[in-house]
Amino acid sequence: MLIRSKSKLACGLIEALALIITIFIFSCGKQGDESVKAQETTSEHQQTSKQVQGETTQPSVVSQRLSQSLKDGKYVYLFFYESGNVDCETMERNLDSFARTTKKKVEIIKVERKNPKNNDIVTSLKAQTAPIPLTLLYDPKSAIVAFFAKVVTEKELTEAIPSPKKSEALQYVHQGKGVILCFSNKDMPSRGEIQTSCSQAKSKLAGKGEYVSVDLSDPNEAGFIRELKIDPNTPKPVTFVVNPQGQLTGKYEGEVQVTDLVEAATRVVKSGCCPPSSGQACPPTNPQKK
């Protein structure tokens, strides 16, 4: 059964899924609903090092540090700030405290936005006019998986690090693919049938979509399940479908048809930037792939 989500899609992010996929598909200030292809975001850390060769002969210290930290397998919080800004100072303290207490392998990289030495990374991420403080979270696979355009707590910084299955789904979207996410457990009678439908849909998508199966009893995915507001005791599998632009295009409880999954995974939904009254902040645009 198809469950129609009442949540509005915001800035092309999967707001209803609460995945916070910050691949920066849409950019405020652009005419209409112009979108940036998701596959253009598969190697942001490389582009921050290479994209500004017209302005500098080599990448900045910040860009080099970002690239090296990702190679070292760290989660990187890239923090854009301006001197004298009270909110930036508060956010900086929260980041420093988080870095001291977290058990995760993280790196905090601070970028003074108005410092000419940082022009390459500021320009490549189009962060010149973004709200500040602005914090981008990269996973070790070099994909931006979360962003904060405001002051957030240590708890929020911790929760932004994706679970294994969430990270897998994000990677597929960054590759420009649709994603079918099925949440179930071994005690559900219809599990096998629905998983078969999901697998068949993936085959029909012929490389344009992927299937991710999530066990509702997996403690490593508990946070992801809470984010999506899924009852872990639900008697039927719950399936979400996300298109290549990172938009929620389907949610199903129980039985689902292969044709519906394929259609949802390839559906294009037009969505503009967040309206001023939405309380959401439109992220900067990812650098263009060359």
Count the helices and strands in the chain (H runs, E runs).
9, 8
Of residues 278 and 242, the one with the higher pLDDT is: 242
Write down the architecture of domain 164-266 according to CATH.
3-Layer(aba) Sandwich (3.40)
What are the b/e assignments for 198-228, b being 16+ CB within 10 Å?
beebbeebeeebbbbbbebeeeebeebbebb
Distance CA 168, CA 129 (A): 31
Residue with tokens 């979270």: 137
**pLDDT tens across 63-100, in order?**
999 999 999 999 999 999 999 999 999 999 999 999 99
The whole-model pTM stands at: 0.67
Average pLDDT, the chain: 78
Q: Which pLDDT score, from 0 to 100, does residue 65 have?
A: 94
What's the DSSP call for residue 183? E
Distance CA 226, CA 25 (A): 25
Comma-separated ranges of CATH 3.40.30.10 domains in the chain: 38-161, 164-266
**pLDDT tens across 206-251, in order?**
999 999 999 999 999 999 999 899 999 999 999 999 999 889 999 9
Cβ-defined contacts of 29-36 (< 8 Å, 24+): 29/129, 29/273, 32/272, 33/270, 33/271, 33/272, 35/245, 36/285, 36/286, 36/288
**38-161 has which CATH code?**
3.40.30.10
